[in-house]
Amino acid sequence: MKSTRRPTNETLDRLKKIVGTKGWKSEKTEIEPYLREWRDRYFGSTPIVLSPSTASEVAEIIRVCAETGTCLVPQGGNTGAVGGQIPADDNSSIVVLLHRLNKVLNVDPLNNTLTTQAGVTLAQLQEAADEHNRLFPLSLASEGSCQIGGNIATNAGGTAVLRYGNTRDLVLGLEVVLPDGTLWNGLRGLRKDNTGYDLKQMFIGAEGTLGIITAAVLKLFPKPGDVQTAFVGFHGLEQAVSTLTLAQEMTGHQVTTFELVPRIGIDIVTEFVDGARNPLSTSFDWYGLIEISFGSSNMSRELTENILSRCLEQDLIGDAVLAESGAQATAIWQLRESLSEAQKNLGGSIKHDVSVPVPSVPALIERSIEAANRFIPGIRPVPFGHIGDGNIHLNFTQPSDMDRNAYLAKWEDLNNVVHDIVNDLGGSISAEHGIGQMKVDEIVRYKTQTEMDLMRQIKRALDPKNIMNPGKVIEV
């Protein structure tokens, strides 16, 4: 049920009055950046973009929208990868930006919590925690521009999930404006609260379809006293999984990051990114970036060296380099973080953000590559990602002799090929990017009827007029 009703001029005037002259834009050139997804896959339209400065203004906006049946789409840093932040291209929805809710409200080192408004960028939160010798562990390539409200609304993952969990695991409390304009204050810094339904969990990962998150209480952690970063070459995918298991056992689960990169990924980055180089002298089909965090530097390097030595002895890895400095660790990270951007140089890419149980990662990659090659001969697989938590980004670059548009036209068909394998392995077709509008039809193929019915019941109960980010996550 999608609304195609456009807001009236009277409704728009009421919304403008709420946010004041500095809180709205309607000129085409001003609002265009908010209507296109950064990969240029999704485009939308809107009669107005609103920028409220307080949670009360957000509540007033939603009350007007509920009264008039006006749809709205919340947007943070516009870094989402599945189009959840982009309105439909029919001028039926207004866009609500959260960037003016940009204050860190409190840092409590004793309780290891940070309270923040939704429009604060992830990088700013990390800096605020660091000023108190604390760590906020969520880390993404887009952390300089993505906002914590969007991170929570999409249950963002990132590179430290292995140690600290998804965003869902880092949230203690929320402030949310509900679809009728009610402002719910659940900003509690409690680790234990067993007083009924955990309401905040409904809004984490809901992509703004059940309400707009305006503030949050987040978990902090003691800042690691020492971090060891290694780059290794694996003999095979099974050996990569065994290396992870050994590292976890030897450190007592102190492994923070365990990333997988294929040979083609390293080749792409070293060719197209200035200054990037492979620190290993021997080529391998698969490489790994391993980061281990310790409370202090006492014995940390020696333990990491022992782990690598044990892996070499057991023939799990063929070579390794352990960063000698922060600069070398940064250079190693560049090989991983530059991969998505560098891949654009090869042409069109069909992407999959999927997860399976960690032991099934080798089967996932091998079966998907084989099936994709059968479906599109000459396709160039570039699978990489968070092997430590089973989340692999199965990206497939177009054959070198194929037209880009003709290749990208096969996006949905290749999705079905890969996602059927993921489902067969007991996995998820969306590990950390969400559903948005990209996968709203696809989840029906893989979720049970009971699951879909429960999701629709929740949506209808909270948002009976379907004004909150319609057409995203689930159709009702």
- DSSP, residue by residue, 268-289: HHHHHSTT---S-SS--SEEEE
Percentages of the chain per state (helix, strand, coil), in multiples of 5:
40, 20, 40
At 19, is the secondary structure helix, strand, or coil?
helix
- On the question of pLDDT at 264 being above 90, the answer is yes
Check whether 296 has a pLDDT greater than 90. Answer: no
User: Which residues are CB-contacts of 378 (< 8 A; sequence separation ≥ 6)?
Assistant: 399, 400, 401, 402
**Chain-centre distance for alpha carbon 407:** 25
Among residues 411, 418, 261, 400, which one has the least CA distance to residue 340? Answer: 261
Task: Name the average pLDDT for the chain.
Answer: 95
pLDDT at 333 over 50: yes
The pLDDT confidence band at residue 455, using thresholds 50, 70 and 90, is: very high
Listing DSSP states for 217-278 in one string gives: EEE-EEPPSEEEEEEEEES-HHHHHHHHHHHHHHHTS-EEEEEEEEHHHHHHHHHHSTT---
- At the second CATH level, the architecture of 104-222 is 2-Layer Sandwich (3.30)
- Amino acid identity of residue 434, one-letter, is G
- What is the C-alpha separation between 304 and 302, in angstroms, rounded? 5
DSSP 290-321: EEEEESSSTTHHHHHHHHHHHHHHTTSEEEEE
Cβ atoms of residues 233 and 280 within 8 Å: yes
Record the tokens describing residue 41, joined without a space: 């896959």
Q: What is the per-residue pLDDT across 193-210, written as a single tens digit (0 to 9) for each?
A: 999 999 999 999 999 999
Which two tokens mark 215?
């503030």
Look at the chain and count its residues: 476
Residue 163, pLDDT > 70, answer yes
Whether pLDDT at 60 is above 90? yes
- Residue 233's pLDDT is 98
Give the integer Cα–Cα distance in Å for 148 and 199: 18
pLDDT in tens, 107-153: 999 999 999 999 999 999 999 999 999 999 999 888 999 999 999 99
Question: What is the structure's pLDDT at 204?
Answer: 98
pLDDT of 348 strictly over 90 = yes
Q: What is the pLDDT of residues 202-252, one digit of tens each?
A: 999 999 999 999 999 999 999 999 999 999 999 899 999 999 999 999 999
Residue found under tokens 């000129």:
27
The DSSP bridge pattern shows strands 93-97 and 71-75 to be parallel
Bridge partners (DSSP) listed for residue 468: 72
Secondary structure (3-state) at 104: strand
Q: Do domains 226-340 and 347-433 have the same CATH topology?
A: yes
Residue 394 host element (H or E): strand 391-397
Any idea which architecture 347-433 has in CATH?
2-Layer Sandwich (3.30)
The pLDDT tens digits of the residues spanning 420-430 come to 999 999 999 99
Q: Are the C-beta atoms of residues 446 and 423 closer than 8 Å to each other?
A: yes
The answer, yes or no, to whether residue 3 has pLDDT greater than 60, is no
DSSP 126-186: HHHHHHTTEE-----TTTTT-BHHHHHHTT---TTHHHH--GGGGEEEEEEE-TTS-EEEE
CB 85 within 8 A of CB 76: yes
Closest CA to 469 of 44, 135, 157, 101: 44
Rounded CA-CA distance 150/99 in Å is 11
Determine the pLDDT at residue 1.
Answer: 41
Q: Where are the domains of the chain?
A: 104-222, 226-340, 347-433
Q: Which two tokens stand for residue 369?
A: 């590559």
Q: Considering the domain 226-340 in this protein, what is its CATH number?
A: 3.30.70.2190
Q: How confident is the model at residue 4 (pLDDT cuts 50, 70, 90)?
A: low
Reported pTM:
0.94
Query: What percentage of the chain exceeds 70 in pLDDT?
Result: 99
In angstroms, the CA 87 to CA 46 distance is 7
